[in-house]
Amino acid sequence: SPHHGFAAYHTYLEKVFQADAVLHFGTHGSLEFMPGKQVGMAGTCYPDRLINSMPNLYYYAANNPSEATIAKRRSYAATISYLTPPAENAGLYKGLKELGELVSSYKGLRENEARGPSIVNSIVAAAYTCNLDKDITDLPAEDADA
């Protein structure tokens, strides 16, 4: 059975607040997973008792149709599907990207290579540009020779 607070919330929405509808956002709602029959809800099933006669609008990701079907079937939801935005790696902003490339260049150096000190100086300068001196207390001064 639902927690008394959950049941009270749905009662409050309908009887006290007199909501015109319930809006659910996201997936994995609690209402449609309450105990009761899987199909053909009856007045004794908790989803039916909780939602009662309030319209139930459910914003559901289009890539999850199986759970949207459960919400329709068990809580009388009118589902409104949306496409999730494509995800992309954010990467580093310009200063940190350049610093990462400098560190990679330094790591790829061979012993006794003359470019070493100039790359180290560039790394230190880039670290200051990225304000890393606020986090790294023993960062060498920019004008110090490597």
SS3 call for 87: coil
For residue 52 the two structure tokens come to: 């009662």
The whole-number average pLDDT for the span 136-145 is: 82
pTM score over 0.85: no
Determine the residue type at 101. Answer: E
Quote the CA–CA distance of 23 and 17 in Å, as a whole number.
14
- The pLDDT mean for the chain works out to 87
The more confident residue out of 122 and 146 is 122
Is residue 55 scored above 90 in pLDDT? yes
Residue from 67, 64, 45, 47 nearest 56 by CA: 47
Tens of pLDDT, residues 70-96: 888 888 899 998 888 888 887 788 789
Is residue 7 scored above 80 in pLDDT? yes
Quote the CA–CA distance of 141 and 90 in Å, as a whole number.
31
Cα 128 to Cα 54, 123, 145, distances in angstroms: 59, 9, 15
Q: What does the chain come to in residues?
A: 146
Is residue 68 scored above 90 in pLDDT? no
Is residue 146 scored above 80 in pLDDT? no
Quote the CA–CA distance of 58 and 61 in Å, as a whole number.
10
**In this structure, are residues 122 and 102 in contact, taking their beta carbons and an 8 Å threshold?**
yes
Determine the residue type at 24. Answer: H
